[in-house]
Amino acid sequence: MKPPLLLLLSISILLEALLFSVTGNNVGAYSPIDDIAVNCGSPCNSSESNWTWIGDAEDGSTYSPADEIHSSINANASRSSPSFHNLIPYHIARLSRSEFIYTFRDTAGPRFVRLHFFPSDYLDFRRANSFFSVKAPGNTLIRNFSASLFSDHTSFTSFHKEFCLTVGADQILNVTFAPTPGNPEAYAFVNGIEVVSMPKHLNYNTVVDSTEGIKLAGYKTLHNFSTADAFEVVKHLNVRGQFVGLADDAGMCRTWEVDESYVTSSNIGLLPVSTTVPLNYGEQVPNYTAPDSVYRTART
């Protein structure tokens, strides 16, 4: 079987190509060690589709954020917002015009961090005024971000941004929301945060470690990725295949998009499909790396 090519595209000028060779025996399905979902601003826990979102606004909640001057508030999204929808975690948010910090303890190792946003008016926080940065230890994940501009540009009324990062054994995962300085109306907000452990070799890959380094767009020098780097996940594409929804992912709630609209060359390649060839996974590339259906289609 030809080694498939997985693409992880990142806004941080990253186009990482992981070339996997798939051999050996199956190992077990991936099940995350921790799988934390915080419904920011919510005074209670809520469940949806077998999934518990933990409220952060209850007294003594493990995930109540720290803020120096106790200025962060929780508020419901304005119901008069044209795109209001009553879905967890989007209808309620935590907001502040000064910095607030969520702390996730005992999360050493590689993690997905998903930040959920529903840009809307919240009390006197106007939709257009969110401008903020989000920081994790050693990395700024987003800088001077405007959720409303992002939403208007992409037409997603609510959305999440997903990052991969590695929390060191001696680190605590503090996620800091900081309004952009210099603008008195600027505020930071978030509707939901998920912290999910991920397999060690998925993005921080030790299989492909013999390169001279990777050329990043806009940089002259080559770069080797290390666990000190954070990635933003922008797309998962199922090359030449069908859309794969999160319920059909290999345990990590990713969605895999159809790649057609991204193929811009007139030569679209040969399109092999094999629904019958056995897929043999190995210890370095376990079967949860991607769903089987992703490996069964390709462009060559």
Ligand X SMILES: *[C@@H]1O[C@H](CO)[C@@H](O)[C@H](O)[C@H]1NC(C)=O
State the residues that interact with ligand X by CB under 6 A. Answer: 26, 28-29, 44-45, 49-50, 54, 58, 66, 74-76, 101, 103, 131, 144, 171-172, 174, 180, 182, 212-213, 222, 224, 250-251, 287-288
Q: Which is nearer to ligand X, 206 or 266 (CB)?
A: 206
Q: Smallest distance from the beta carbon of 263 to ligand X, in angstroms? A: 27
Q: Smallest distance from the beta carbon of 265 to ligand X, in angstroms? A: 30
Q: Smallest distance from the beta carbon of 48 to ligand X, in angstroms? A: 8
Q: Smallest distance from the beta carbon of 270 to ligand X, in angstroms? A: 27
Q: Which is nearer to ligand X, 180 or 263 (CB)?
A: 180
Q: Which is nearer to ligand X, 152 or 263 (CB)?
A: 152
Q: How far is CA 37 from the centre of its chain?
A: 13
Tell me the C-alpha distance between 16 and 263, whole Å.
Answer: 17
Q: Which is nearer to ligand X, 101 or 258 (CB)?
A: 101
Tell me the C-alpha distance between 248 and 293, whole Å.
Answer: 10
Q: Which is nearer to ligand X, 49 or 276 (CB)?
A: 49
Q: Which is nearer to ligand X, 157 or 174 (CB)?
A: 174
Q: Smallest distance from the beta carbon of 59 to ligand X, in angstroms? A: 10
Structure tokens, 112: 């997905």
Q: Smallest distance from the beta carbon of 151 to ligand X, in angstroms? A: 14
* 178-181, long-range: CB < 8 A, 24+ apart: 178/99, 178/132, 178/133, 178/134, 178/135, 179/96, 179/97, 179/98, 179/99, 179/131, 179/132, 180/131, 180/132, 180/133, 180/144
- Amino acid letter, 200: K
